[in-house]
Each structure stands twice: as C-alpha cells, then as structure tokens.
Amino acid sequence: MWKWEAEDPKAVVVIVHGANEHHRRYDWLISMFVSKGIHVVMGDLPGQGHTSKKLRGHINSFHDYIEKIQSWIKEALNYHLPVFLLGHSMGGLAVIRTLQEIKLPVTGVILSSPCLGLVEYPSKGLDLLTRGLNVLAPSMKFNSGVSVTKATRNKVVLEKDVDDPLYVTHVSVRWYRELIGAMKKSFSEIRKLSDYPLLLIQGGNDKIVDKKIVNHWFNQLSSTEKTYKEYPELYHEVFNEPEREDVFNYTYTFIINHINE
C-alpha cells in the first residue's frame, strides 16, 4: 500500500485498480487528485503488481480482494477526512462485493466501467473445463485474452504498457471462476449494498466490459442518489482515455459536492 498526500487536504480517495494491472498505471490520476487537495491511498491487489511473481494472476478467493480493500479504507480513515472509494473494472466489482458484505464509513462511491459482465466469454467447452480444473488444478494459468489495445485509445499509455513487466497476461483457473462467481453475486445480492452516493462512469465503446449489463445492474440499484455517466466514444479505461481530463473533472465535481454536503 502507498499513500500520496496533498497540501491542505479536503478528502481521501482509495483507488482499487482493475484486472491485469497495478497501481503505477494510475500515476496521472493520482497526481490530478493530489493537485486538487485530495489524498490518495492505493496498493496492488493480491496476485497483481508487486505481489509475488509466482502468484501473479492467481487468487484463492475473491474475498482476498475484499480484505485488502478493507485494510486500505482503514488506513484512509486515519486522516479523519471524508473518504471516497473508487474502483475500476474488476476493482469496481471488488468494491461492489466489499460493500455488499460490509458497511464501510465512506462518503461516496465511484465505479469506473465495473466488471459486471464481459463482452467476450470463453467458449462453453472451455468454461466447462475450468469448472473441473478449479478442483483439480486451480492454479493452472491460461491467456486472459485481454489486450491493452482493447482498453484505451491513448497512445502514450499503450506505449508504456507494451514494456510493462508487471502487466498480467495469464490468469489462473481459480481467478476466472472467482471472477464469474463475484459477477453473479453482484446481481443476486444487490439489495445488500448499503445506500451510498454513487457515481458510475462507463465507456460507451467499451470492448472489455458489456455496458448493457452494467446499465442493467445500475437500474436495479435502489440507491437514494445514483448517477450514470456514459462517454459514447470512450474505451474501457475512462481515466486513461484522451478525454480523461473531462472524466476527471466530472469525478472531482462529484467528490466536491459531497464534501460540501
């Protein structure tokens, strides 16, 4: 876990990254928050980033993510400032599952292209095979099938990702089955999600997460205050896209409005 502190801070944002990636891919977003007077708390999720190379791309349980997010929130609360929880893609799914399991003292929640359904799934045969392997060889890995070119149109980001040794390209059978299970629970346990002010930002041209499923989940959510913001041309990583300043400003306004409240 790492912390970036702002001068004259007014809030804290805990950022939860997505699948395959790590915290250093959020350098731009972190610097933007800090420049606006917002502390940032962030780390690498289990099986990703600076975790053990042998374990990269593997988890034993999706609950591993929930426990890690809890620890980051606990650290953020030490600042005694309003805390916002921001999750991208699988990190957004992990945030949802965390808040379905535990009521955390956060001021607001921001979801960025949350992984609630995929544009492309493995074939039925491969899906069936993973069910058996999840018992017999849960740590066996296969190509995730997700390339950075599907994630963003930002050429600067793409150039960095090509040589990124921490970018995960292979995931384990257990990781995949846990992801599928978490997506199902995000719907079946939707009523367990406590009532937080929610901002959901979705790329309209997302090639990884199925935006129709995301919108369906959002419409079922019985939150007192919820906002769905879709950017028609944007790919999956809305905070990395060429229009990311517009996305950041929209997010920052959401935060400021709720600090003032």
Q: Which residues are catalytic?
A: 89, 206, 236
For 96, residues 6+ apart whose C-beta sits below 8 A from its C-beta are 87, 111, 114, 116, 186, 193
* E strands in the chain: 2-4, 11-16, 38-42, 83-88, 108-112, 141-143, 170-172, 198-203, 226-231
For 229, residues 6+ apart whose C-beta sits below 8 A from its C-beta are 199, 200, 201, 202, 250
Distances (CA, A) of 217 to 68, 114, 202: 24, 10, 12
| Distance in angstroms (rounded) separating the CA atoms of residues 239 and 237 | 5
* E strands in 5-123: 11-16, 38-42, 83-88, 108-112
The DSSP symbol for 209 reads B
Pairing of strands 226-231, 198-203: parallel
Nearest to 154, CA basis, from 247, 82, 52: 247
Rounded (to 5) percent helix, strand, coil in the chain: 40, 15, 40
Contact 141, 170 (CB under 8 A): yes
Other C-beta atoms within 10 Å of 245: how many? 12
